[in-house]
Structure 1
Amino acid sequence: MIDYRSWRHAFKLDPDKTIDDDALEAICESGTDAIIVGGTLGITFDNTLDLMARIRRYAVPTVLEVSNLQAVVPGFDSYLIPLVLNAGDPDWIFAPHVAGLTAYGSYIHWEEIFTEGYLVLNPESSVAKLTKARPVAGPDEAKAYGQTATKLLNLSMVYVEYSGTYGDPEVVRAIRKGAEGAHVFYGGGVKTVEQAKEMAAIADTVVVGNVIYEDLDAALATVGAVKG
């Protein structure tokens, strides 16, 4: 079983995006604490399996963030199940989980499953549009979402998702305060050492994704910025 509470830095790789072998090796051997495989659009069983097989040549812990039931691939160290706290479409709160358990419940090793209280904060992102995510008015409401995750739902993991844009540190700090006792992941728009350090001072784990495909050196520099 993974020890996600020890993670300070993680890279997120999208099966629908292209990464060559040299870049993948650099990412996996960078000193990051984990690789999260996940995305919103274009995720299939085949491209997820292919990416997992390539990552498995390295010793880094690798988890699948499940966003598509047809792309659930065995062989990951663990599986992250998003529960979109601010989904405007109620079907994105529990319906996918019920469908998944109907299909795969008898095969699940529950010690490999972790539920994320997922808060989507970039209204222009694909995941926001897909889930019809409700906007968060400001720090007070953000804190309340954190409390909802931990005090009402008893979740041990909260993922703050800005998905492609850099987030508001005050909002992230409010979520962290509300989610007292939970492990807080931050993901979204981290492209520089300064941004990585800023979010590392607030969140437990900083997740770096899009910049991998835009500027590999900048992505790699975030590892030392977070863990240094």
Structure 2
Amino acid sequence: MHLKWKNWTHVTKLDPDKHLNPGAIEEVATSGTDAILLSGTLNVTPENLTALREQVEGYGIPLVVEPADTDGALFDGVDMLFVPSVLNTPDSRWVVGKHQRWALECPDIPWNLVVPEAYVVLNPNSAVGRVTGAVCDLSPAEVAAYARCAEHYFRFPIIYIEYSGMYGDPAVVKAAAEAIDDATLYYGGGINSAERAAEMGKYADTIVVGNAVYEAGVETLKATVRAVQ
């Protein structure tokens, strides 16, 4: 299970702070997406994260939690923990500080489930961009340099180009893809059609679809799955 994420091409991100009815949850889980990522930036609590996990479990699809903070982690009933570090912020808390506090406060972290992610956040108006203070006005070459550092210096297995709510620049994603050798490149942001999924899927190993599930519906999600699989 733990290495199968390397072969995923499509991941669906569900936000604990948002709501889908049980019928929609079932459609998401059976849409053909490779995994469900339980992740959000604001108002993520152990309670709403657990409630969402209980909604999506039982479908035989991998469940991944991306902790938003040290008190937003959930270990029980999930297959993996994708833990992000935001590289393009001057605030070191988002690179390693919160991680150190997590290790301090949670001595029983199941490290065998942890997969580190190197985030490059590129939408300054997104919640994650504002919270982390990410420096987003980066050229493709600058993003590619972050990707090279992430893979070759820090040895991150996942590099995540995150536009979070807006559709990004394919040239940026292409540059990041060309800069790395073995790391897995994730792209997330604004994928609300098969065309956009296919465009970013040319460069990213894995696309992440989130807001479209809530804004455009499950049929749109299914179209993005078909576009990359």
Q: Does residue 51 of the first structure (1) align with residue 52 of the second (2)?
A: yes
Aligned-pair CA distance for 1:67: 1.0
Deviations 1:169-190 (A, max 9, x none): 0001111122221001110000
Alignment of 1:139-218 (within 5 A): 139-216=140-217, 217-218=219-220
2:82–2:117: 8 Å Cα contact kept in structure 1?
Answer: yes
Of residues 87-96 and 159-168 in structure 1, the stretch that sits farther from structure 2 once superposed is 87-96
1:9 paired residue number: 10
2:193–2:220: 8 Å Cα contact kept in structure 1?
Answer: yes
2:26 paired residue number: 25
Aligned-pair CA distance for 1:212: 0.3
2:90 paired residue number: 88
Of residues 179-188 and 85-94 in structure 1, the stretch that sits farther from structure 2 once superposed is 85-94
Of residues 174-183 and 159-168 in structure 1, the stretch that sits farther from structure 2 once superposed is 174-183
Report runs of 4+ in structure 1 exceeding 4 Å deviation: none
1:84–1:120: 8 Å Cα contact kept in structure 2?
Answer: yes
Aligned-pair CA distance for 1:89: 1.7
SS at match of 1:71: coil
Q: Distance in 2 between matches of 1:53 and 1:169?
A: 36
Question: Which amino acid in the other structure matches residue 93 of structure 1?
Answer: V
Q: Distance in 1 between matches of 2:136 and 2:16?
A: 28
Of residues 64-73 and 162-171 in structure 1, the stretch that sits farther from structure 2 once superposed is 64-73
2:140–2:172: 8 Å Cα contact kept in structure 1?
Answer: yes
Q: Distance in 2 between matches of 1:170 and 1:139?
A: 7
SS at match of 1:70: coil
Instruction: Count matched residues.
Output: 226
Aligned-pair CA distance for 1:72: 1.3
1:160–1:186: 8 Å Cα contact kept in structure 2?
Answer: yes
State the TM-score, normalizing by the size of structure 1: 0.96
Aligned-pair CA distance for 1:135: 2.1
Q: Distance in 1 between matches of 2:70 and 2:165?
A: 24
2:122–2:137: 8 Å Cα contact kept in structure 1?
Answer: yes
